Amino acid sequence: MEDKKSFLVINAIVNKQNMAELQEYLGRVMQIFGKNGGKPVGRHKTIEQLSGEDSPEMIAIIEFADSGVINEMAKGEEFMALSDMRSRVFRKLNMMICEGM
């Protein structure tokens, strides 16, 4: 059986009142992803919403070896230590584990 890579797909709406912390948060979380073998596939900002509501302002896709690595990282001490900052920086945050079809 072929090994499938897993992807952490993140979409977010930023809390504009705490923009000062955004870059610090992103730098710290990207270090955590890297320590766990995460490789950035892309980071994007929304420039136009064509349909729907509450469009994310930021989208990131990070590749990992498998979903277990992502789950362990998300439960890990370093990632959990950013919880308070994460809740201040984002008004809405969605994180999904995905695989290719």
Model confidence, pTM: 0.90
Rounded-to-integer distance, Cα 32 and Cα 25, Å: 11
Residue 3's pLDDT is: 67
Mapped onto helix, strand or coil, the DSSP state of residue 79 is helix
Specify which residues 40 forms β-bridges with.
62
> What is the spatial distance between Cα 88 and Cα 12, in angstroms, rounded to a whole number?
12
Q: Which domains does the chain have, with CATH numbers?
A: 6-46+54-99 (3.30.70.100)
For residue 1, the model assigns a pLDDT of 44
Grouped pLDDT means (10 residues each) for the chain, 101 residues? 83 94 96 97 93 90 97 97 97 95 83
Q: Please name the residues in contact with 27: beta carbons below 8 A apart, sequence gap of 6 or more.
A: none
pLDDT score of 55? 87
Q: Which helix (H) or strand (E) holds 83?
A: helix 83-89
